[in-house]
Each structure stands twice: as C-alpha cells, then as structure tokens.
Amino acid sequence: MRMKFYTLVSILISAAITLPSVGAQGRGDAIVIRNARIFTVTKGVIENGSIVITGGKITAVGASVSAPGGARVIDARGLSVYPGMIDSGTTIGLTEVGQGAPGTVDTSEIGDNNANIHVDIAVNPESSHIGVTRVNGTTTALTMPRGGLIAGQSALINLDGWTWAEMTLKARAAMHINWPGGLGGGFEFGGGQQRAGAELRREQDRRIEELKKILRDAIAYGNAKDARARDASLPRMETDLRLEALVPVARGQMSAVIHAQVERDIKKVIAFADEMKLKIIISGAVEGWRVADQLKAKNIPVIIGPVNRMPNREDDGYDAVYTNAAMLHKAGVKFAFQTMGSAEARDLPYQAGESAAFGLPKEEALKAVTIYPAEIFGVADQIGSIEVGKLANLIITDGDPLEIRTQIKHLIIRGRDVPLTSRHTELYDKYKSRP
C-alpha cells in the first residue's frame, strides 16, 4: 500500500510506546449492565439479565450475577443488549473520499500480484467513517484491499482505538483474489457480440491459468524452503515476499476470499478451488442462489452484498437480490453480509434487515452480522456472541438493531463505553446552534 503520512505516524507511535486504553472509562474498569433483555445469539435470550465486563472482556452473563465492587452500573431497563455487528467486507479506514480525491484512497497497489500487502498498517484511525459506522451498531469490520489479480490480505479491525495496531483484531484475516473476467449473467450474444464474448472467455481462461501458475509456484517455493530448513547444505533461497505470503493459501491453511458474482463464474471458482485444494470464501455472489446446492455440498461460505442493487439479469425478478440470502439459508449455506465500501458501511444493519423482509428468518439475519462472520473468519472465540470470555463488543438498543428506527443507547467496544458522537452528530450540533 502507499505509505501515507498518517500511516507512518501511526506506525511510529505504535512501535515507540504502548498507549493506555482510556476514554470515557479505562478498559480495565468494570462495568455492569443490569435489567436488560440479552440476545446472546448462541444461547438464546435472557430476560431481565445482567452482564459483567472486566478488563475489556465479558466475565459473567445471566439472570443473577455478582458484580465486582466499585463497578460502573448501566441500567438497561426496557432496553436490549446485542453483540456488536460485524461487516464482512469494507474499505473502512482505507477510503475517505471515494470520488474526486484519490489521495484519500489507499486500497490498492499497482501490479497483478500483491499477495504480500496487508492492509492493517494502512488503516487511518481518524477516519470520519469509523465514528459514523460504529454509532449505527457495527463494532468490527473486515477492511480489504482491491485491485489486481491478487489484491492482498484483509484485516479484521475493531472500530475504536488510538492506532491501527490497537484496533486490529486479526491482522491477516484472508487473501483476496479478484476472479478474472467478471463475465455477465449468462446472456447469449449474436453476431459481433458473440465473438466479443468468446474473446472475453478466452482471456478469462488465460488469466485463470496465470493464477494457477502463481499458486503452484507458491507451493514449490514453500516446499523448497521446508527442504532448506531440514538440510542446511541445500542452496540458500532468495526471499520472494509475494510467494511467501501465498504459501499458506496454496496449502489450504489460509482462506482465500474470491470475488465472483454470477453463476458461471461461481461454478468456475468452485472447480478451481477443488483443483488447487484451496480453502475459499466467495464474496459478492449476487447469483449465489443459483448454485446454492453446490456451495452447500462443498461447504463454501459466502459473503453477500451490497444488497441495495439492481437485479443482475434482465429476466430476474425485482426481488432477486433481496431473496438471495433466504435461498442460501434454505440450502444450508453459511453466509454473512458486507457493504463493500467505507461511507456505506453504516448501512450494514439494513442489508440484513432488507433480506429479513424478503424471507430470511430474523434470527438468521442477526447471526449473519454477528456469529456467522466470526466463524467464517476464525474469530468466534473472541467476538460474535455474548458469552463469558469473549471481548465486550456490545450494543445496547431500544429495539431491533436491524430496524432503521432503532436507536443505539450505548456502544461498548473492548469494554469501553464509546461516546455516541460522529462527524454527523458534530455537524448536526454545529448547525442546530446557528441563529
């Protein structure tokens, strides 16, 4: 990634000192949430329950728990507590002004293979989008690179912290691959269009073979390094950072998020993963419902969204995008939601809510922005539900968090009661006070 000034400063601060985690109260201070309706996600609903938070983690949950002396008490009578929501695909912290200000966009590097890029070090903790997003209930986001054939490695970040290092939950969450071609929805062409379509397919096939070669080179590179580690008499290898980063992907130890939308491409991705023995997650999948049975058979999770878009094909029903999640759920496919942007990340609850309005059970919609993304990205032991031992990433609301009229009353990230302020509230206060 291009090293911007704010990124360099953040690296220097993180390397030089360990900043205390302070704010409205320190993360080490105890908090007790009382008299709440607790939606644990994984263990049902607790009526009139309590949650104890100590050292940034949940230390007790139940209808009757003991609180440590001196703990701050939040009376949540008439309110509900949910796990903080997780956006499974954004550019938050990497994009500030998407159009017309390229200097504020740090999502991609030049070239086709940027496997060694990891975006955590480029996250801007001062991005105005972070505050706007979290006050709507999202506490964690997967921020990801874009561009090229192999874009690089995404990071799971908590949306609160002084530096990128303090925000990072999982630095190298997955490798992102942009499926070559991006062909349309399976239309039949005539005349010159048919010839152009054939040329596109040939180019796509060429690029897929190129991708296979890169992954095979990574396997060979990893095997050679292992052999050298066992036998020091073998010639020393030159380090190749891109192949080094791809070794765990090529060996099926690290997930590859492959961005593909239409039925034809998704089928090719499934065959590609079988051949190369990859552990994959399919991102986008606007036509995932067309291949839901195959995705289930291969146990491939899907990241869908953004939901707010037009149907893909001319003959699709008006609700094809909205019912995608319900049909994947019916087939037994594990999935999560993403917004794909930075300014758009605040809309995550409504991606799930709109899908619930078109046939997805409400409890599944909630899981798709909480525990399911945590499971997909291997952090379910830390976030995604309200359980003892997990990080205290919580939202206290006056209603269903997927409903647009619901208000967030408290936002807790890693045990800190984060102020409900953002660039939007600042502008509101500024102009409200104008005579």
**d(Cα 37, Cα 44) in Å, to the nearest integer?**
11
Q: Count the neighbouring beta carbons within 10 Å of the beta carbon of residue 288.
A: 27
* Shared fold status for 1-20+85-182+241-383 and 25-84+384-418: no
Q: Are 51 and 40 in contact (CB under 8 A)?
A: no
Long-range pairs for 307-312: beta carbons < 8 A, 24 or more residues apart: 307/337, 307/351, 307/354, 307/355, 308/347, 308/350, 308/351, 308/354, 312/185, 312/261, 312/262, 312/286, 312/287
| DSSP code, position 21 | -
**62-89 pLDDT, tens per residue?**
998 888 888 999 999 999 999 999 999 9
> What are the strands, taking DSSP E only, across 144-223?
150-158, 168-178
One-letter amino acid of 147: G
- What is the fold of 25-84+384-418? Urease, subunit C; domain 1 (2.30.40)
- Assign a CATH topology to domain 1-20+85-182+241-383: TIM Barrel (3.20.20)
pLDDT tens for each residue of 126-159? 999 999 999 999 999 999 999 899 999 999 999 9
Closest CA to 265 of 248, 247, 284, 252: 284
86-109 pLDDT per residue, tens? 999 999 999 998 777 888 888 888
pLDDT for the residue 196: 61
Q: Is 70 exceeded by the pLDDT of residue 23?
A: no
Report d(CA 34, CA 52) in Å as an integer. Answer: 9
List, for residues 228-261, the tens digit of each pLDDT value.
999 999 998 899 999 999 999 999 999 999 999 9
Model-level pTM? 0.90
State the Cα–Cα distance between residues 144 and 151, nearest whole angstrom.
9
The CA angle 96-102-104, to the nearest 5 degrees, is 30
Is 15 a residue whose pLDDT tops 70?
no
Q: Do residues 322 and 329 touch, judged by C-beta distance below 8 A?
A: no
**Residue ranges covered by each domain of the chain:** 1-20+85-182+241-383, 25-84+384-418
What is the Cα–Cα distance from 47 to 35, expressed in whole angstroms? 8
Per-residue confidence (pLDDT) for residue 66, from 0 to 100: 86
**What is the pLDDT, as a whole number, of residue 212?**
97
Q: Supply 358's token pair.
A: 């078109």
Alpha-carbon distance 37 to 362, whole Å? 17
Q: With beta carbons less than 8 A apart as the criterion, state whether 77 and 120 touch.
A: no
| pLDDT over threshold 90, residue 382 | yes
Distance CA 403, CA 426 (A): 24
Average pLDDT over residues 308-324: 91
Q: What percent of the chain shows pLDDT beyond 90?
A: 79
- φ and ψ at residue 418, rounded to 5 degrees: -80, 130
Q: Which of 91, 89, 144 is nearest to 118 (CA)?
A: 144
Share of the chain above pLDDT 70, in %: 90
